[in-house]
């Protein structure tokens, strides 16, 4: 029961942050959800598939949490609780640091700034890292093969979004400023010496 409670609190905090951010930005006239909008070809495929995978892993996670489906030993479940809490903290820090520059998906028409301060000094993609850690944490707490498959699929789709969409967009938009940032900060976590 304690792992179910932890997972519910983590999911409410994580997605609550996401929803509150969308509402706050909407009040300012900012369209947060840019996933698949105004895109074509491979970029649209990646973004739409990423969005579908996010819904799938969320739905599978909710079912596993409420049914307490798991084949994990207690130490793995404890590790999962810690990892999911860390993922939520990383995600919230990323969203707060980005302020109104944050979007879900690439906003090709919105003017945004390249954010390199705060948590972005240690990760070029902390929001994606937060999603990954959340999914891994929930998986460790409620391990089963269905959740494993959808979690791996979602993490893979987020990675494809970063490599094939986000990084290309940032390079074309910010040019050398982004190249210099890439030379200093790792894609997921760590500084480059």
User: Which tens digits make up the pLDDT trace of 162-188?
Assistant: 999 899 989 998 999 999 999 999 999
Neighbours of 72 (CB within 10 A): 17
Alpha-helical regions (H) of the chain: 2-27, 41-67, 74-98, 126-141, 145-161, 167-174, 176-184
> Which residue carries 């819904």 as its tokens?
55
User: Which tens digits make up the pLDDT trace of 96-106?
Assistant: 998 887 777 77
User: Which tens digits make up the pLDDT trace of 76-115?
Assistant: 999 999 999 999 999 999 999 988 877 777 777 778 889 9
In the three-class reduction of DSSP (H, G, I as helix; E, B as strand; rest coil), residue 48 is classed as helix
Is 0.75 surpassed by the pTM of this model? yes
Is 14:127 a contact under the CB 8 Å cutoff?
no
Please name every residue paired with 191 in a beta bridge, in sequence order, or none if there are none.
185
The pLDDT value given to residue 178: 94
User: Which tens digits make up the pLDDT trace of 144-167?
Assistant: 999 999 999 999 999 999 999 899
Picking from 121, 117, 90, 91, the residue whose alpha carbon sits closest to that of residue 191 is 121
The pLDDT value given to residue 184: 95
User: Which tens digits make up the pLDDT trace of 58-71?
Assistant: 999 999 999 999 88
pLDDT bucket at 29, cuts 50 / 70 / 90:
confident
């Amino acid at each position: 029961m304690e792992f179910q409670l932890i997972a519910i609190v983590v999911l409410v905090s994580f997605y609550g942050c996401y929803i509150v951010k969308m509402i706050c930005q909407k009040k300012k006239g900012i369209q947060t959800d840019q996933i698949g909008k105004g895109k074509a070809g491979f970029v649209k495929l990646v973004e739409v598939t990423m969005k579908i995978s996010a819904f799938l892993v969320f739905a599978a996670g909710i079912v596993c949490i409420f049914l307490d489906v798991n084949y994990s030993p207690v130490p793995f479940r404890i590790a999962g609780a810690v990892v999911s809490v860390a993922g939520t903290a990383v995600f919230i820090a990323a969203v707060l640091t980005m302020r109104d520059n944050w979007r879900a998906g690439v906003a090709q028409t919105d003017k945004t700034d390249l954010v390199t301060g705060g948590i972005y000094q240690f990760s070029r993609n902390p929001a994606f890292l937060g999603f990954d850690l959340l999914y891994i944490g929930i998986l460790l707490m409620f391990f089963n093969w269905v959740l494993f498959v959808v979690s791996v699929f979602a993490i893979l789709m987020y990675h494809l979004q970063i490599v094939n969409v986000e990084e290309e967009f940032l390079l074309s938009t910010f040019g050398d400023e982004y190249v210099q940032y890439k030379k200093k900060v790792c894609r997921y976590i760590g500084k480059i010496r």
